[in-house]
């Protein structure tokens, strides 16, 4: 049996939007942010994305795990990696803020890292409401309404449910092993030792996922899926608000891409509060 991400029922403005509208807003905003490097524009888009997220009225206790993952990935893995690994691209005249041995953090690297963090936060603010405000039965109908075939729509619907289903099966396998005396809470040997002890649990979980996939395939074949166009019980028409937001999202995407191709949207370098030159910092 497949499961899905947690859906939080509600009557917020974001809950009332069509699932296609939320998906198109996410795609258009993500591509627009990815095409621009101007921190000022990215901060404006980030403010709009944060306002959009606030309209969903999602409780923190329900979204804390998702935000913990996103913030750890964005700030510590992506932001810090960009800030530190960008030290090898220093050019003449770059203002170095911190020098630790071979590592040099420049003002240019700080602005570049902030741009990347802003892009990913924009995507997070628009992606998290999708799983929490769209009923799990509406994803397939949403993809079909966006013009995808029935086969692709069902495949994408199942792909969205793959991660929570795999996590549920892994948790059940761990509980079953604990009931049989397998020590999981007192693993020794550091990170590698823990991974080595947990590796045998991956085999039954993976086999169960493969068998579940075969059961779903057999069920679809028995119902003649793919032999003719099917109907979707949760299909719905776009409302006026949905159409306006989709038009605005498409205009934002076209405008951002056109601005970038005409020479705009380049990296904006504000003046650094630190007035020391690179030569003075190097000499210290």
Residue 174, in any domain of the structure = no
Residue 96, in any domain of the structure = yes
Residue 256, in any domain of the structure = yes
Which of 29-38, 109-118, 157-166, 273-282 is least confident? 273-282
Mean pLDDT over each residue of the chain, to the nearest integer = 78
DSSP string spanning 204-272?
HHHHHHHHHHHHHHHHHHHTTTTSS----TT-----HHHHHHHHHHHHHHHHHHHHHHTT-SPPP-PPP
* Domain housing 60: 1-135+240-284
Residue 190, in any domain of the structure = no
On the question of pLDDT at 223 being above 70, the answer is yes
Terminal-to-terminal C-alpha distance of the chain: 64
Residue 27, in any domain of the structure = yes
Q: Among 239, 255, 262, 252, which Cα is nearest to 28's?
A: 252
Helix or strand (DSSP H, E) at 203:
helix 190-222
User: pLDDT per residue over 102-130, tens digit each?
Assistant: 566 676 777 788 888 888 899 999 999 98
Residue 21, in any domain of the structure = yes
User: pLDDT per residue over 37-74, tens digit each?
Assistant: 888 899 999 999 999 999 999 998 888 888 888 888 77
| Burial zone of 272 (CB within 10 Å; 0-12 exposed, 13-18 middle, 19+ buried) | middle
Residue 283, in any domain of the structure = yes
Residue with tokens 């032999």: 227
Residue 213, in any domain of the structure = no
Provide the number of structural domains found in the chain.
1
Q: The whole model's pTM is what?
A: 0.74
Taking the C-alpha atoms of residue 101 and residue 164, their distance in angstroms, rounded to an integer, is 44
pLDDT at position 48, please?
94
């Amino acid at each position: 049996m497949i499961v899905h991400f947690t859906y939080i029922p509600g009557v917020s403005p974001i809950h009332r939007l069509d699932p296609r509208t939320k998906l198109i807003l996410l795609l258009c905003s993500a591509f627009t942010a990815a095409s621009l490097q101007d921190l000022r524009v990215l901060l404006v888009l980030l403010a709009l994305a944060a306002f959009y997220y606030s309209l969903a009225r999602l409780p923190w206790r329900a979204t804390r795990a998702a935000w913990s993952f996103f913030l750890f990935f964005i700030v510590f893995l992506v932001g810090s990696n960009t800030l530190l690994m960008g030290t090898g691209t220093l050019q003449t005249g770059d203002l170095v803020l911190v020098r630790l041995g071979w590592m040099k953090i420049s003002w240019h690297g700080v602005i570049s890292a902030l741009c990347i963090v802003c892009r990913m936060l924009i995507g997070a603010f628009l992606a998290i409401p999708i799983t929490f405000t769209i009923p799990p039965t509406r994803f397939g109908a949403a993809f079909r309404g966006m013009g995808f075939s029935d086969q692709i729509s069902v495949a994408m619907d199942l792909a969205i449910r793959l991660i929570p289903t795999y996590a549920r099966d892994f948790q059940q396998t761990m509980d079953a092993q604990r009931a049989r005396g397998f020590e999981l809470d007192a693993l020794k040997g550091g990170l590698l030792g823990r991974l080595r002890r947990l590796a045998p649990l991956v085999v039954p979980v993976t086999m169960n996922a493969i068998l579940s996939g075969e059961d779903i395939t057999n069920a679809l074949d028995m119902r003649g899926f793919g032999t003719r166009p099917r109907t979707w019980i949760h299909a719905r028409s776009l409302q006026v608000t949905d159409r306006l937001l989709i038009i605005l999202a498409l205009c934002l995407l076209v405008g951002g891409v056109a601005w970038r191709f005409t020479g705009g949207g380049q990296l904006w370098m504000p003046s650094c509060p630190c007035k020391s030159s690179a030569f003075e910092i190097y000499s210290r």
